[in-house]
Amino acid sequence: MQSINALSYTENVTHWLANSNQPKILHVFDEVCNLINENKEILSIVHAGIGNGPFNLVVEDVVMFARSLDAKANVSIQETGISLGDIEISFSHSQLWNPIPNWNELRDKKDEIANRLSLLPIEIEDESILRFSDPLIGALTTGDAQTAKAAASKLAGLGIGLTPAGDDFLMGAMHAAWIIHPQDTAKKITEEIANVAAPLTTSLSGAWLKSAARGEAGELWHDLFDALLEDSNIYVPMSRILSVGETSGSDALAGFIGVFSARSRLPL
């Protein structure tokens, strides 16, 4: 039996653990093990190098999951931990992490942020996104929930992989919506997107879209938002986002920057 410590978790992780009776392993990689419960909710157990996320349980980097587990390994939840096959994870030393950025402060600086981001190039790796990206960006910029919903239904699941390119683009654009619109408007429009898009894509990608609709973001995005608030170098946190997946990071950034670029072109 291998014993490792959990380092951090979110309230979503607590909810998942409390409401999972028959959890199963969904994906196993060296640094990530994704679990799914009977409600099709996702829990990602990740190495510290990957970091915090809306539904991440971050653990010590002492076990390569793919070498110790397969998809049929038993998952058992205890009061003070969780076991995956022969791996026992203890929660005793873990700390709560908040996945919700400081949207209010970001909104207060939305004009300055738009000016900075509008100068950056928009690089869309998957050209199939181009067919539907403009309607989505336009709708998010003006707060048109119905048009955004229609465009999202075309982008959802577009591409390949565990998080298809269309979903990554949607997530980045949703983050931008939380900054440029008041909270109620951002919540309404992003929930409309997630409700239509999540059923059309993978379980993991749907979980990311639902978290974006709750105003949540991963740690790398928090670093970018902090740099935008502090008016400091944004290229380091952007480069870290760009390094995620084959094109996931670049597609998400394209959605994020695209909304701000469109906003900067609106008449005053």
Domain identity same for 107 and 92: no
Domain identity same for 49 and 83: yes
- Token pair listed for 243: 């390094």
- pLDDT value, residue 128: 80
Domain identity same for 15 and 143: no
Label residue 95 exposed, middle or buried (CB < 10 Å: 0-12, 13-18, 19+).
exposed
- Run of H or E residues at 42: strand 42-47
- pLDDT value, residue 268: 47
Domain identity same for 126 and 77: no
Domain identity same for 12 and 109: no
- pLDDT value, residue 267: 54
- The domain boundary, picked from 72, 96, 120, lies at 96
Domain identity same for 256 and 149: yes
Domain count, the chain: 2
pTM value?
Answer: 0.95
Domain identity same for 82 and 114: no
The candidate with the shortest Cα–Cα distance to 170, out of 189, 181, 160, 155, is 155
10-residue mean pLDDT profile of the chain (268 residues): values are 94 97 95 96 97 97 90 91 95 96 97 88 77 93 94 94 94 98 97 98 97 98 97 94 92 94 71
For tokens 């587990």, what's the residue?
A: 69
Domain identity same for 189 and 230: yes
Domain identity same for 250 and 158: yes
CB-facing half-sphere around the CA of 245: CA atoms within 13 A: 16
The residue type at 19: N
DSSP 138-170: HHHHHT-HHHHHHHHHHHTT-SSSSS-HHHHHH
- The domain boundary, picked from 96, 129, 161, lies at 96
- List, for residues 36-66, the tens digit of each pLDDT value: 999 999 999 999 999 999 999 999 988 899 9
- pLDDT value, residue 174: 98
* Residue 88 lies in domain: 2-96
> Is the Cβ–Cβ distance between 167 and 156 less than 8 Å?
yes
- The domain boundary, picked from 45, 77, 96, lies at 96
- pLDDT value, residue 266: 65
Domain identity same for 123 and 240: yes
Domain identity same for 92 and 193: no
Domain identity same for 128 and 186: yes
